[in-house]
Amino acid sequence: MSAKLHAGPHEGDAMPDIALGTPDGGTVKPSDFHGRKLVLFFYPKDNTPGCTTEAKDFTALKDDFDAAAVALLGVSKDSAKKHQNFIAKHDLATPLATDAQEGGLSDALGIWTEKKMYGRTFMGMVRTTYLVDETGRIARVWNKVKVKGHAEEVLAAAKTL
């Protein structure tokens, strides 16, 4: 079962509709965006170099995503308070959500997984982006994202959807 879970949903599959926490204490689910396109970008940790660059890159293009009728949502396991600090510190315009619960959206997608670094094994988020169409189906998946140029590539793909 865990091997299948790790594979997660694929392009054409429905995005699992699991609630995420918002920095203001509310919740948001993928189905809240039905009727418009959605970019869900999952990243490992607030205020780390790659994650900061990625969030700032999506923020820099937010007006372009808005013009293309594409919603953005950044997701990590960080707490609502950490998200509030991350948003304030870097003046982020991109909404963020927390997927801290066990069995959450990143688990359902198979991107919260065992990682290894410097001989140490730990659970971590695989940097992954999903482009979801207006009906809630996954239109495109970027696995193990390299941050440089990624937000631009996602915007171009979203415009063709």
d(CA 129, CA 147): 11
Give the helix, strand, coil percentages of the chain, each rounded to 5.
35, 25, 40
Residue 75 near residue 44, CB atoms below 8 Å:
no
Task: Decide if 51 is catalytic.
Answer: yes
| Cα–chain center distance at 140 | 13
Residue 126 near residue 144, CB atoms below 8 Å:
yes
Residue 135 near residue 50, CB atoms below 8 Å:
no
Which one is catalytic: 20, 38, 51, 96? Answer: 51
The catalytic site residues sit at 51
